[in-house]
A and B are shown apart, each in its own frame.
Chain A
Amino acid sequence: MTSHASAAFDLDAFKDPALALGLVESINKLAPVEGMTLMEVCGTHTVSIARNGIRDLMPQNTRLASGPGCPVCVTSNKDIDTIIALSRVEGVTIATFGDMTRVPGSTSSLLEEQAQGRSVQIVYSPLDALTLAQENPQQQIVFVGVGFETTTPLVAMAIKRAAALGLENFSVYAVHKNMPGALEVIVNDPRVKIDALILPGHVSTIIGVKPYEFLAKKYGIPGVITGFEPNDILQGVAMLARQLHEGRADIEIAYARAVLPEGNPIARAAIDEVFETCTATWRGLGEIANSGYKIRPEFKQFDAVARFAPEVEPTREPKGCKCGDVLRGAMSPHECPLFRTVCTPENPVGPCMVSSEGSCAAYYRYY
């Protein structure tokens, strides 16, 4: 390590209770007396808010609603079924992030398919999937590309690396989605009534401020891009309270150490080179134009559906699951009749209970 690396990077201050106290005090002073509803869009925020007991620190009539920012949760049943169908293709190995394997589709899950003898590998990075392909030339590796703008550029880069290597046994099933379109659906939902948005830190690392500006300008809804330590979140809430107090609606950054106003242009260029936007189906939110990414024709040889044309079973939604309403912030997990009774992390009915970032799983664990 060079000497300036050891110049300590003081992350602990972002957890310092003394600083938290000052922020809580500010929030209490600034929050509108009639109360406010803030949505934390990102699943990682949902978990951090729950783990750090931040709801208990809010003024009485302030509500923190959990949003749609769990990529596994918003993946539609049809897409899950397609992934399962791909796992049934002779010679295919599915490489995917761990959460995805436990999500129930219409009649099965990747874990159940694995128990039936299909090949499913959990990977930490799309690069691990590339390595699998290089080390197993006889096997077709299909990587499940799930995730928002944070993850999409990584998968784009993995596809570019595969193209450069001339890999013929690597492909991707891409169900990537972008956040702003989903937020527009939510702010237009009369059942939800959001006053302000705690915007996702790492999605914003890639996209910057601009894609959210319509929320402030067109809908008058303030947003603050926030990090994930307790004081990051409290600062985000304090900045939102201040905007509401002053009657302003702007998109601000409370996570300057990781988010530049312009985002990461290299990452955005990688997305645009490999993917084009398309209409995507979100669990709970339905079809949203331009909110999904599909592989461009130039990279078609890496598109798993084009390569294997899997036969997908008819879609059936999980009975009684309210994930759709939970993902919109229209319902708290507690209000689902199956929560904790029928639906538990060991026996999840819907994806919101499977993913570690799902609202139902977070509420099960911490509330």
Chain B
Amino acid sequence: MCLAIPAVIVEKKENGLAEVDILGVHRDIALDLTPQAETGDYVLVHAGFAIEVVDQQYAQETLDLIKQFPELAEQE
């Protein structure tokens, strides 16, 4: 139930809504909780609301950390 799916904002609309593309499906969601989100941003969508802007840079940092893990474990 706490499922949330990344989507990209296609167009901001009036009334705090935005059209997003979720894996190719377009629908309107509310930006009430992420008013800073702009067109082109990835947001995490839960039950019709964006709950956070997904940070692609942090995603990369996490992947880098995952790649380093075997070496880190080696050093322990």
Nearest B residue to A154 by beta-carbon distance?
B49
Q: Determine chain B's interface SS by DSSP, over half rule.
A: mixed
Say how far A83's CB is from chain B's closest CB, in angstroms: 15
The proximity string for A residues 198-216 relative to B, scoring 1 for CB distances below 8 Å and 0 otherwise, is 0011110110000000000
Residues of chain A in range 51-74 having any CB-CB distance to chain B below 8 Å: 69-72
Say whether A205 contacts B1, CB under 8 Å.
Answer: no
Interface size class of A (residues with CB under 8 A): 35 or more
- Give the CA-CA distance A71 to B30 in the complex, in Å: 22
Say whether A10 contacts B34, CB under 8 Å.
Answer: no
Say whether A235 contacts B65, CB under 8 Å.
Answer: yes
Say how far A25's CB is from chain B's closest CB, in angstroms: 5
Given contact pairs A26-B73, A255-B62, A9 touches B6 in the complex (Cβ within 8 A): yes
- Give the CA-CA distance A43 to B41 in the complex, in Å: 28
Given contact pairs A9-B42, A157-B30, A200 touches B2 in the complex (Cβ within 8 A): yes
Residue A257 is within 8 A (CB to CB) of chain B in the complex: yes
Say whether A44 contacts B69, CB under 8 Å.
Answer: no
Given contact pairs A9-B42, A124-B47, A257 touches B59 in the complex (Cβ within 8 A): yes
Say how far A223's CB is from chain B's closest CB, in angstroms: 16
Say how far A367's CB is from chain B's closest CB, in angstroms: 21
Say how far B76's CB is from chain A's closest CB, in angstroms: 6
Residues of chain A whose beta carbon lies under 8 Å from any beta carbon of chain B: 1-5, 7, 9-11, 13-14, 19, 22-23, 25-26, 29-30, 42-44, 69-72, 97, 99, 124-128, 146-148, 150-151, 153-154, 157, 161, 200-203, 205-206, 228, 231-232, 235, 238, 242, 245-246, 254-260, 264, 266-267, 270, 355, 357
